[in-house]
Homo-oligomer: A and B are copies of this chain.
Amino acid sequence: MADSTTPCPSPSGPSAGRSWWGWGAVDKALSEAECTALGQLLPGAADTPLPVPDISALALPKVRVEPPSALAPLMSTAPGDRASHTYGKAYRDVIRALRGDLTAAPDQVARPRSERHVVDILDWAADAGVAVVPYGAGSSVVGGVEYRADAHRGVVSLDLSALDRVLEIDRVSRAARIQAGVLGPALEDQLRPHGLTLRHFPQSFEFSTLGGWLATRAGGHYATLYTHVDDLVESLRVVTPVGVNESMRLPGSGAGPSPDRLFLGSEGTLGVITEAWMRLQERPRHKASATVLFEDVHTAMEAVRAIAQSGLHPANCRLLDPGEAGLAGVARNGESVLVLGVESAHFPVDGRLAELVALARDHGGSPASAEPGAADGAADTWRSAFLRMPYLRDALVRMSVVTETFETACTWDRAPELYETVRGRLAEVVKDVTGAAGTINCRFTHVYPDGPAPYFTVIAPGRRGSEVAMWDEIKSAAMDILHDLGATVTHHHAVGRDHRPGYDRQRPEPFALALRATKRALDPAGILNPGVLIEPATAG
């Protein structure tokens, strides 16, 4: 009963108009004047922005490997391609790109246009001892797409953005077979005519791909219930060096350990995800949102816990602490702000929202509007600030401000201590490292019945030339603090290379043995994204 769809044509090249060094679209970056003005708001920032280097002036390392002629049409050594595929978009990536440091550039950027191309590229790479770094749209903030080893004859960045089609839609089961390289907006464009949506909107939505979400267990739109993309997966198709792994399309199964759960979160180390059958939603017709203010952040946390444990499952339930709310412009007097949202394709949701707001009020909150669900300025303000944040971050980087985020999750019994300890201990570290008090804000991006996912933002003035070292010292301390508190090193940013110290400590040792054994079985030549999750295997 599945009916095929006519795929939408891609409007333009896969990365047209995209910044090679910073976030997103070139035309949305802040101007020199805006950067300077922003810097003036922050004591200790530089007076003038770091210049953006011209690609033609960059020193790229020599290309060490050439593909066989059959694959040559898929490959590029153009400086713009190599430069834009060197790093992800972490703070330490952006600052190094601005510094013109491209020693880690891949030798080749491959753009397969079919699964067959992916197979052929992996076959060649395994034979030739060439590392392959799968690349969706490069929004990793954990060093997930940057080759850092020295154990391979060369490195290919495998850019999957040409695999950008919705191949099949099953309206009855509400699911679609989708190629992994599709960007968020192009995916939704192809689903919209069918009245369907994946409704997975990570902050990186415009500049990340389905395959990237799956490989990194991305966190999306839903603050409760369906938080990670994992739960939206019906089946996966993964090209491994030893064969294609295709799981059955099933709504649920108990046949052995889940095959899909091995590849979800494998971050390109075990195979390249080329397609997935994804569970879809009908587009919501009923939406309502409200904001609730709290004078005390701990009271707010208790209210959020009550909501998370109520079974009401709000689509949005984001708590901004006073600093975060102030920065986003949704609170003026040091309040914490809870943004609530409910949605349904079938039923009016005002009653549900009223129940949520009542619960928040019972726990000490003050609704921002007397009439929940009415036009809610704060929710809109916050949303637009949310999408603007990465561009502001880049501007701050240019003004030599150390600015980065990290996220975690812990059980509720530890949440208040986590909030206070991270802010307290990390503020000391920030002061030691930068000489300034800095700002450490927090929001809860997702909440579960048994705990929240706190997301921290750090902002402090940096010293030109020392930015990476300064951030690395702060990040290292943050990982120590999270580990001490029994919190995960990442809730939805993945492990990559930057989180290895924290991940290695928290991963149970028998599971590490299992992962290494699996890596040897599926990638015997050790070519797939070496250094991510597990020790780089030796090149074949």
A binding-site residues for B, Cβ under 8 Å = 1-2, 170, 172-175, 216-219, 225, 227-228, 234, 238, 240, 242-259, 261-267, 270-271, 279, 282, 305, 309-313, 344-347, 351, 355, 409-414, 446, 448-453, 486-495, 499, 502-503, 506-511, 513-518, 520-522, 533
Q: Are A486 and B248 in contact (CB under 8 A)?
A: yes
B510:A250 contact, CB within 8 angstroms = no
Q: How far is the CA of A259 from the CA of B347 in the complex (A)?
A: 38
Q: Is the CB of A347 within 8 A of B351?
A: no
A254–B238 contact, CB under 8 A? no
Closest to A489 in B: B255
Contact at A253–B172, with CB atoms within 8 Å? no
> In the assembly, what is the distance between CA of A256 and CA of B344, in Å?
32
- Contact check, A446 vs B252: say whether CB atoms are below 8 A apart: yes
- Decide: B522 and A249 in contact? CB cutoff 8 A: no
C-alpha gap A494/B346 in the complex (Å): 35
Shortest distance in angstroms between A539's beta carbon and chain B's nearest beta carbon? Answer: 20
Instruction: Judge whether B451 and A173 touch: CB under 8 Å.
Output: yes
Are B351 and A355 neighbours in the complex by a CB distance under 8 Å?
no
Q: For the complex, give the distance between the alpha carbons of A243 and B510 in Å.
A: 6
**Could you tell me the distance in whole angstroms from the C-beta of A210 to the nearest C-beta in chain B?**
16
Q: What are 14 A-B residue pairs whose CB atoms fall within 8 Å in the complex?
A: A174-B449, A218-B254, A248-B486, A249-B486, A252-B448, A255-B488, A256-B495, A259-B507, A270-B514, A310-B346, A310-B347, A311-B344, A514-B517, A514-B518
Q: Would A174 and B251 be within 8 Å (CB), given that A259-B508, A511-B259, A513-B242 are in contact?
A: no
CA distance A451 to B516 in the complex (A): 35
Q: Does the CB pair B248–A509 fall under 8 Å? A: no
Which of B355, B409, B487 contacts A347, CB < 8 Å? B355
Return the chain B residue nearest A349 by Cβ. Answer: B311
Q: Are the C-beta atoms of B409 and A252 separated by less than 8 Å?
A: yes
Beta-carbon contact of A515 and B257 below 8 Å: yes
- Return A258 CB to nearest CB of chain B, in Å: 6
Which one of B174, B248, B513 contacts A506 once the chains associate, using CB atoms below 8 Å? B248
C-alpha spacing A514/B347, complex, angstroms: 44
Contacts of A251 in B (CB 8 A): 409-412, 448-453
Pick the 5 closest A-B CB pairs, nearest first.
A251-B451, A251-B448, A517-B521, A261-B261, A217-B254
Q: Given the complex, which residues of B lie within 8 Å of A218, measured CB to CB?
A: 254
Which residue of chain B has the shortest Cβ distance to A510 in the bound complex? B245
B450 touches A234 (CB 8 A): yes
Q: How far is the CB of A208 from chain B (nearest CB, A)?
A: 14
This chain's copy number in the assembly: 2
Which residues of chain B come closer than 8 Å to A257, judged between CB atoms?
Answer: 261-266, 515
B510 x A253 contact (CB < 8 A):
no
A31: shortest Cβ distance to chain B, in Å? 35
Known interface pairs A257-B265, A510-B238, A517-B521; A311-B345 also in contact (CB < 8 Å): yes
- Scoring A251, A346, A448 by chain B CB atoms within 10 A of each residue's CB, the highest score goes to A251
Does B413 contact A450, Cβ atoms closer than 8 Å? Answer: no
A279: nearest chain-B partner, CB-CB: B450
A253 to B454 Cα, complex, angstroms: 12
A245-B510, A514-B262, A516-B521 in contact; A254/B490 too (CB < 8 A)? yes
A248 touches which of B256, B345, B488 (Cβ 8 Å): B488
Chain B hits for A520, CB < 8 A: 517
A355-B347, A513-B522 given; A265·B256 CB < 8 A: yes
Q: How far is the CA of A227 from the CA of B252 in the complex (A)?
A: 9
Task: List the B residue with the shortest CB-CB distance to A253.
Answer: B488
The chain B residue with its CB closest to the CB of A448 is B251
CA distance A263 to B90 in the complex (A): 33
**Contact between A491 and B252, CB atoms less than 8 A apart:** yes
CB of B507 within 8 A of CB of A522, answer: no
A499 to B263, CA, bound (A): 24
Closest chain B residue to A452, Cβ basis: B251
Give, as a whole number of angstroms, the nearest-CB distance from A503 to chain B.
Answer: 5
Beyond the given pairs A248-B486, A254-B493, 6 more chain A to chain B contacts, judged by CB atoms under 8 angstroms and listed by A's residue number, are A175-B450, A242-B510, A247-B508, A249-B411, A256-B515, A270-B514
Q: Which residues of B contact A452 (CB under 8 A)?
A: 251
Q: Could you tell me if B254 and A309 are in contact, using CB atoms closer than 8 angstroms?
A: no
Q: Nearest chain-B residue to A483 (Cβ)? A: B248
Given known A515-B257, A520-B517, contact A451–B510 (CB-CB < 8 A): no
A410 touches B282 (CB 8 A): no
State which of B238, B265, B271, B517 has its C-beta within 8 Å of the C-beta of A517.
Answer: B517
